[in-house]
Every structure is written in structure tokens, then in C-alpha cells.
Amino acid sequence: MRAFKIPRWTKRNFYRKNIILCGDALGTVMPVSFEGIYYAMKSGQFASEAIKQNDLALYEKLWNERFGKQFLIMKKFQDFMFGNDKRIDKWLNIHRNPHIQELAMALWLRKEKGNKLIPLYVKAFGGIISRIALTQVKINM
Ligand SMILES: Cc1cc2nc3c(=O)[nH]c(=O)nc-3n(C[C@H](O)[C@H](O)[C@H](O)COP(=O)(O)OP(=O)(O)OC[C@H]3O[C@@H](n4cnc5c(N)ncnc54)[C@H](O)[C@@H]3O)c2cc1C
């Protein structure tokens, strides 16, 4: 059996001197869903725009304008929700709910600019997150 690593999104340099990183080389994989194809293609599009305009800093700017907030929200959500096996089980179990399944499918299939699907998806876990946070406060008291 062979395994292939999917990179995690972390803050990296988008370019160095005359080398530009796109897709997996930059780690443009959406946290939680681990989708990399769409975002690799978008990073290529933004990089080519920056090259055309002879302004490599534009690449990161275009990326952040379009995806910066979405990746940040999902990264924070992932760090919390995938923090231990118990939480991962809770994350999996909530996907038995048809409403959450629909929301997760929409996240995969609908990428148009300005849709509010990511905040909606994260909000659906609000109850679980606050229950875990409350338990932690009690344990730490
Ligand atoms: C098992 C698995 C399942 C996945 N499932 C999904 C999914 O369902 N949906 C989704 O959106 N994403 C998925 N991903 C992530 C997605 O495949 C990647 O994020 C995406 O393909 C990255 O595109 P890329 O062009 O950056 O890199 P790649 O697609 O890896 O392309 C890089 C290319 O460069 C070539 N290459 C490497 N070194 C050299 C070299 N020295 N000279 C010339 N060529 C070279 C490689 O052969 C390869 O063809 C999955 C990844 C894995 C591993």
C-alpha cells in the first residue's frame, strides 16, 4: 500500500526572489475538507495575474482577498475540532444530520465569491464547541 501526503495550510512565503509557489507547494489545501484541486488552480490563476502585472506581491494580496478569511476560519475550526479523538468523533457524528450533510456538500460544490457557507458550517457546531469549552473551564477550575 502507498500513502500520499496532503499538505496542511500554514502561513508560508508565496514567492521568494523569482520563484513562485502554487498549489501543494504552497499548501493551498482547505482545512477540514482537505480539498486542494480547486485552490491549486486558483493559486495558479492569481500567480499568473501577478506575473502579467510584474508585481509578485499582488499574488498574496489576491489570494488573501479571496480566501484569506475562509482559510483562517477553517484552520481555527480544524485545530479545535480535530484536537483529539473524542472531538473528531463528535465532528463525524454530527454529519449524520441531513442538514449538516447538505451544508458540507454545498461547501464542496459551491465556491462562488461571497457565499456565506463556511461561517454557516462552523456555526452549526456552535453548540458542541461551547459545551466542550464549558467542560474545559470546569476541569480547569
Ligand atoms: C490521496 C489524496 C486524495 C485527495 N483527494 C482530493 C479530493 O478529493 N479533492 C481535492 O480537491 N483534493 C484532493 N487531494 C489534494 C489534491 O490532489 C492536491 O491538493 C492537488 O492535486 C494539488 O495540485 P498541484 O498541482 O499543486 O500538485 P500535483 O497535483 O501534485 O501536481 C504536481 C505535479 O508535478 C509533478 N512533479 C513533481 N516533481 C517534479 C519535477 N521535479 N519535475 C517535473 N514535474 C514534477 C508531479 O508528478 C505532479 O504531476 C487529494 C490528495 C491526495 C494525496
Mean pLDDT by groups of 10 residues along the chain of 141 residues: 89 92 96 95 98 97 96 93 92 90 91 88 78 60 56
How many domains is the chain built from?
A: 1
pLDDT score of 127: 72
pLDDT score of 55: 96
Residue type, 22: C
Ligand 1 center from residue 24 Cα (angstroms) = 7
Q: Is residue 105 part of a domain?
A: yes
Q: How far does Cα 128 stand from its chain's mean position?
A: 20
Ligand 1 center from residue 47 Cα (angstroms) = 17
For a mutational test of ligand 1's pocket, the pick from 9, 20, 34, i.e. the residue with the most ligand atoms closer than 8 A to its C-beta, is 34
Q: Is residue 42 part of a domain?
A: yes
Q: Is residue 89 part of a domain?
A: yes
Q: Is residue 55 part of a domain?
A: yes
Closest-CA residue, ligand 1 atom 11, reads: 35
Report whether residue 29 contacts ligand 1, using a CB cutoff of 6 Å: yes
Q: Is residue 127 part of a domain?
A: yes
CA distances to 26, 31, 79, 90 from 84, rounded to whole Å, are 26, 16, 9, 10
For residue 100, what are the domain limits? 15-140
Q: Is residue 7 part of a domain?
A: no
Phi-psi region for residue 10, left (φ > 0), alpha (ψ -120 to 50) or beta? beta
